[in-house]
Amino acid sequence: MEKINEIHRDAMQLADQAYLARLRGEVKEAERLVRKAFEREREAALLSADKHEFEPTRSVLHRSAASLAIECGEMREAERLISSALSGTPPEEIADELRDLLEKVYFDRHLSLRGIELQANEFQFSISGDLVGFGIAQSEEFIERVKNIETVIYRTAERKLHRPFRERGRRKKDLQKDLELYVSIPRAASFAVSFRLGRSKQLKLPGMDLCEDVIGEMFEGFDLFNSGEVEQLKKRIPDRSYYRNFIGLAREIAPDGKNVRSVGFTVLTEGREKSVVLSTPRSQVLKEEPPVELEGAGEHVEVRGFLRLADARKEKEGIIEVIDENNREHKVKVPGGMMADIVRPMFAYEVVVTGRREKKVIILENIERTPE
């Protein structure tokens, strides 16, 4: 076992070096070091493969090697390592972690287009989880995400066309007509469909079709959101209302960690498939940025109750009322970018509101529907 431990320590050192290289922005060097770490950790795992008496060390080495394999894009090798680990007697906690890794491997396979030829105005959307099967999904989990993806598309188009954020009212007919959204029938994967945006001969940005630009912008936004690159996302979406709106919608699209564990998007860029996988539960991902009004505001509060009023008559903000279990009314000020697409769809549902109290009003930081 001493030799195995020595190889494992070598692999972990290489993994640490890769992490530091990534922090320095040395992407190629980080990739090289991760691959070396994977090769060393796989060597340690293979040397322990027939040593079933050395649990949990055996399964931990296989889990670590499989994680590095996934990071290197070696999905088939990750599958082999996970299967080998599960063929032994790993502790139940580690076995669950191995099954979660295996689910990631399978979801990556479902993200691939597998014979589907996407055009520049198309992208694939996939989900997996407890309420998702082979070509079937619980309707609400799918439909709500489709609605939010549609909203992200049109909001992105409005932003790219330099239109002020629309706090209320319907989207312009010209935009809805020229950016019509189509969805394919579900394919036999985790649950995968293709989205297609209608093209327009008139509505174009200089040098680029608007449909292609909107899909690319949405994809890059999800990628930055997924990696927690706050500053980069702010630079990409400098308007605060559009920024809050994107963060709020992205959180609604993100998995809940159980019913839906992974949400993936695949596009075809310059002939190559590129994917983004949202796998962090929405309760843990990037939240809407607190509004400027919170600077110097009062105590932080959390209110749970039913949303009974959503008044958006003001130009840049609105007021909602939340009725708690003691029938007390809590007035909440909603900052720009959140009322129409994020708050109003929660009307009549039980919600959790967090924010800071300013006199008799709570300034909203975040709002979520309570789990059913």
Q: From CA 249, how far away is CA 288, in angstroms rounded?
A: 10
Under the banding of pLDDT at 50, 70 and 90, the label for residue 206 is very low
Q: Residue 165: which pLDDT band, with cuts at 50, 70 and 90?
A: very high
The answer to whether position 222 is within a domain reads: yes
Q: What pLDDT shows up at residue 162?
A: 92
Pairing of strands 300-311, 350-358: antiparallel
Q: What is the pLDDT of residues 173-188, one digit of tens each?
A: 878 777 888 888 777 6
> 149 and 29, same structural domain?
no
User: Does 28 share its domain with 169?
Assistant: no
Domain that holds residue 50: 2-111
**Do 32 and 145 share a structural domain?**
no
Query: What CATH code is carried by the domain that includes residue 321?
Result: 2.40.50.140
C-beta contacts of 158-162 below 8 A and 24+ residues apart? 159/237, 159/239, 159/242, 160/205, 160/210, 160/213, 160/214, 160/217, 161/205, 161/210
330 and 192, same domain (yes or no)? no
**Last residue of one domain, picked from the residues 111, 131, 160:** 111
Q: How many structural domains compose the chain?
A: 3
Query: Is 80 exceeded by the pLDDT of residue 66?
Result: yes
Is residue 199 included in any domain, yes or no?
Answer: yes
127 and 273 belong to one structural domain: yes
331 exposure class (CB count in 10 Å sphere: 0-12, 13-18, 19+): middle
Written as six digits, the tokens of 36 are 């070396």
Residue 285 domain flag: no
Asked if omega into 56 is within 30° of 0 (cis), the reply is: yes
The answer to whether the CB of 225 falls within 8 A of the CB of 285 is yes
At 238 the three-state DSSP class reads: coil
Residue 127 covered by a domain: yes
Residue the block writes with tokens 């090769």: 39
Same domain, 274 and 301: no
- Considering the domain architecture, whether residues 8 and 65 belong to the same structural domain is answered as yes
Rounded Cα–Cα distance for residues 79 and 360 (Å) = 56
From 256, 278, 300, the end of a domain falls on 278
Return the structure tokens found at 115: 């014979």
Same domain, 96 and 167: no
Buried b (16+ CB within 10 A) or exposed e, 137-168: bbeebbeebeebbebbbbbbbbbeeeeebbbe
Q: What is the CATH number of the domain that holds 22?
A: 1.25.40
* 164 and 210 together in one domain: yes
In a domain, 287, yes or no: no
**300-331 confidence digits (pLDDT tens):** 899 999 998 766 555 556 889 999 999 999 99
Encoding tokens for residue 328?
């007390």
Percent of the chain with pLDDT strictly greater than 90: 40
For residue 116, being part of any structural domain is answered with no
Residue 118: both structure tokens together = 């996407």
282 pLDDT band (50/70/90 cuts)? Answer: confident
The two structure tokens encoding residue 353: 């509101």
Q: Are residues 202 and 325 in the same domain?
A: no
CA distance 280 to 67: 16
Whole-model pTM above 0.85?
Answer: no
Whether 308 and 245 share a structural domain = no
Non-local (6+) Cβ contacts of 274 within 8 A are 219, 266, 267, 268
**pLDDT of res. 185:** 77
**146 and 188, same domain (yes or no):** yes
For residue 337, being part of any structural domain is answered with yes
284 occurs within a structural domain: no
